[in-house]
Amino acid sequence: MEKEPILILTHDGWGQALLKSVRMIVGEIKNVYEVPLQAEDSLPEYIAKVKEQVNQLQWSKKLLILTDIKGGTPSNVALRISKDYEIVAISGLCASMLLEAVMKQEAGGFTRELAQEIQTAVIESCQVLELPQIKK
């Protein structure tokens, strides 16, 4: 079974560094693509780049798009193209989100429910780390 594609939209391409980090944990990752927003890209240029990449992908239910910052240009572009494509987008990209999404690539297609599972896993992974206090 072909792994479902995941599209990453980030500022300045830091998604590639994130992919490299996740590869250290899970090994080879397939069917994950990034369209970085560069400082010199105008909004129409970036939208065109994203649409060009989307048009090259095939997915079964919804295309999963992971974006870095809610309200940022990559997130806004994901929302904008959702009028033309069957996508589900999640903002707040981090290593745990990408890891969870990669582990769900073989689930038979991304859905809103699966996206919510990814979001829940990310929220649960975000914790303040403290050593336990030893009572004397």
Provide the CATH number for the domain around residue 38.
3.40.50.510
Q: How many domains does the chain have?
A: 1
In a domain, 11, yes or no: yes
Q: How confident is the model at residue 124 (pLDDT cuts 50, 70, 90)?
A: very high
Task: Look at residue 83 in the predicted model and tell me its pLDDT.
Answer: 95
Q: How confident is the model at residue 41 (pLDDT cuts 50, 70, 90)?
A: very high
pLDDT at 1 over 70: no
pLDDT at 109 over 90: no
Domain holding 38, by residue range, is 6-125
120 versus 2: the higher-pLDDT residue is 120
In a domain, 96, yes or no: yes
In a domain, 132, yes or no: no
Q: How confident is the model at residue 26 (pLDDT cuts 50, 70, 90)?
A: very high
* DSSP letters spanning the chain: -PPPPEEEEEETTHHHHHHHHHHHHH----SEEEEEEPTT--HHHHHHHHHHHHHT---SSBEEEEESSTTSHHHHHHHHHTTTS-EEEE-S--HHHHHHHHHTTTSSSB-HHHHHHHHHHHHHH-----PPPPP-
